[in-house]
Amino acid sequence: MQTLLRLSRPLLCIARSLPRVAFARSAKLSTASVAASSVNQEEIQFFSRLSSQWWDESGEFGLLHKMNPVRVQFVKNKIFETVHDDGFEEIAEREKNGKILDGLDVLDVGCGGGLLSESLARLGANTLGVDASASNITIASLHAAQDPALCRTSALGNVPLQYRNAAAEELVEEPKRFDVVCSMEVIEHVDNPAAFLRSCAELVKVSYELNSPGGHLFLSTVSRTPLAYFLTILAAEKLLQLVEPGTHTFSKYVKPAELIEFFQKPLGAAGRPWISHVYDGMPVRQEAEVRGMAYLPWKGAWTLAPRGAFGSTECNYLFWVRKPLSSRV
């Protein structure tokens, strides 16, 4: 009874959960080629079945599907705001035709089945989705291949969406950098969050324009609070068994303050901190922002909490930070 009462609160936390049962077989197949064209029929069928989990909107991933529009909205808002602050007028035009990310190079680290990558690509971004799991990449590629809008090559020869089986650390070794790097519901699953964050930050473009800051880093995760423990682990895994037990490890949850603190320190020997100062523990709007997200069961939808709303970042939250001017890191 107590549980049910508590659960009926407006806040419901989730974090991405991998369908472990389904993926048990995938280790064997991790050497399979990623390109859809070279996968044999039997493999396609196997992956399609897996894919039906990632893309089954009423299944275990339903809440994540519903969360997606809110994450995209946050990315859009911040890009719009900063481009506006930087004094580029044409952004309003882009907003109108729905292609607000037109021409931007966007990286989705830990893309899973491609939920976020597909949306970013539809908004005009040249999107690269990477995931350490080869089967995730195959699933994501197969799903995108069904959608002609995502695999059509543009007049300039750009393909709006591409996937690669790689870890963020591997990309750091390559020269390519991105206007926007997103890593949603990933950091709570990695072993060394500090190293992971450093790699993501490194992949963000440095600005070559005079007086203009660099690219953007977006994260979303779950805070390490009693409420988050209660909702994501005790309730979701143990009591209600909404997701596989073992999906989340409480000690890996990251608090917003810890992210802010991380970016207040220089990330490399020569670099500047991304967050120069904080007021009441919060960064200035031009440097970084933390926004809570909550699921409203009676609306069947997630909502982006208003800026600074009390208690809104106790569970699921989004984080944005921007590479500072003339930072090399």
Partner 1 sequence: MRFNYLVDTGAWKSVEESRVASIEEMQVWDGLSDARITFNANEANIGHNNGQAPHMATMTENLNLQRALLRSLDASGVAEIIDNTKVSRIEKDTRNGGWPLVHTSNGEVLRARLLVGADGPNSPVRSYAGIESYGWAYDTRAIVATLNHAPRLAGLQKQSKTAYQRFLPTGPIAFLPLSPTSSSLVWSTKPTLAAALTATDPQALVHMINAAFRLPEVSIRYLHRFVLDEKQQMSSDALLEEIRWRERAHVIDQHSVFSSHAFDGIGIPPSDAEMLPPLVTSIQPGSVASFPLRLSHADSYIGEGEHGSRTALLGDAAHTIHPLAGQGLNMGLADAQALAECIQSAVLVGGDIGSRTALLPYARARYFENHKLLSATDKLHKLYSSTFSPVVWVRSVGLEVVNELDTLKAAIMMTAGSSSSVQKQRFDASSWATAARSVELAGSAWRAATSVGKTVEGVLAAGLSNLLTSSGRR
* In the complex, least distance from residue 94 CB atom to partner 1, rounded to whole angstroms: 12
In the bound state with partner 1, the residue whose beta carbon lies nearer, of 38 and 58, is 58
* In the complex, least distance from residue 70 CB atom to partner 1, rounded to whole angstroms: 8
The answer to the question of whether 244 is labelled as a binding residue is: no
In the bound state with partner 1, the residue whose beta carbon lies nearer, of 67 and 228, is 67
The answer to the question of whether 170 is labelled as a binding residue is: no
Q: Is 311 in the site for partner 1 (CB under 8 A)?
A: no
Q: Is 37 in the site for partner 1 (CB under 8 A)?
A: no
* In the complex, least distance from residue 284 CB atom to partner 1, rounded to whole angstroms: 26
* In the complex, least distance from residue 301 CB atom to partner 1, rounded to whole angstroms: 7
The answer to the question of whether 215 is labelled as a binding residue is: no
Q: 133 near 26, Cβ under 8 Å?
A: yes
The answer to the question of whether 110 is labelled as a binding residue is: yes
In this chain, which of 34, 53, 76, 102 binds partner 1, going by CB under 8 A?
Answer: 76
The answer to the question of whether 188 is labelled as a binding residue is: yes
Fill in the per-residue mask, 122 to 141: x = in contact with partner 1 (CB under 8 A), - = not in contact.
xx------------------
In the bound state with partner 1, the residue whose beta carbon lies nearer, of 146 and 192, is 146
In the bound state with partner 1, the residue whose beta carbon lies nearer, of 119 and 199, is 119
The answer to the question of whether 184 is labelled as a binding residue is: yes
In this chain, which of 9, 49, 93, 98 binds partner 1, going by CB under 8 A?
Answer: 98
Q: Is 291 in the site for partner 1 (CB under 8 A)?
A: no
In the bound state with partner 1, the residue whose beta carbon lies nearer, of 84 and 299, is 299
Other beta carbons less than 10 A from residue 327's beta carbon: 21
Q: Is 301 in the site for partner 1 (CB under 8 A)?
A: yes
Residues from 213 through 252 that contact partner 1 (CB under 8 A): none
Q: Is 322 in the site for partner 1 (CB under 8 A)?
A: no
Q: Is 162 in the site for partner 1 (CB under 8 A)?
A: no
Q: Total number of residues binding partner 1 (CB under 8 A)?
A: 24
Nearest to 288 by CA among 307, 260, 310, 267: 260
Q: What is the 3-state secondary structure (H, E, C) of the chain?
A: CHHHHHHCCCCCCCCCCCCHHHHCCHHHHCCCCCCHHHCCHHHHHHHHHHHHHHCCCCCCCHHHHHHHHHHHHHHHHHHHHHHHHCCCCCHHHHHHCCCCCCCCEEEEECCCCCHHHHHHHHCCCEEEEEECCHHHHHHHHHHHHCCHHHHCCCCCCCCCEEEEECCHHHHHCCCCCECEEEEECCHHHCCCHHHHHHHHHHCECCCCCCCCCCCEEEEEEECCCHHHHHHHHHHHHHHCCCCCCCCCCHHHCCCHHHHHHHHHCCCCCCCCCCCCCEECCEECCCCEEEEEEEEECCCCEEEECCCCCCCCCCCEEEEEEECCCCCCC
In this chain, which of 87, 157, 175, 300 binds partner 1, going by CB under 8 A?
Answer: 300
Residues from 43 through 72 that contact partner 1 (CB under 8 A): 57-58, 65-66, 68-69, 72
The answer to the question of whether 71 is labelled as a binding residue is: yes
Q: 298 near 62, Cβ under 8 Å?
A: no
Give CA–CA dist 230/278, Å, rounded: 30
Q: Is 143 in the site for partner 1 (CB under 8 A)?
A: yes
Nearest to 258 by CA among 194, 301, 210: 194
Annotated binding site: 71, 110, 131, 184-185, 188-189
List of residues contacting partner 1 (CB under 8 A): 57-58, 65-66, 68-69, 72-73, 76, 98, 118-123, 143, 145-147, 149, 299-301
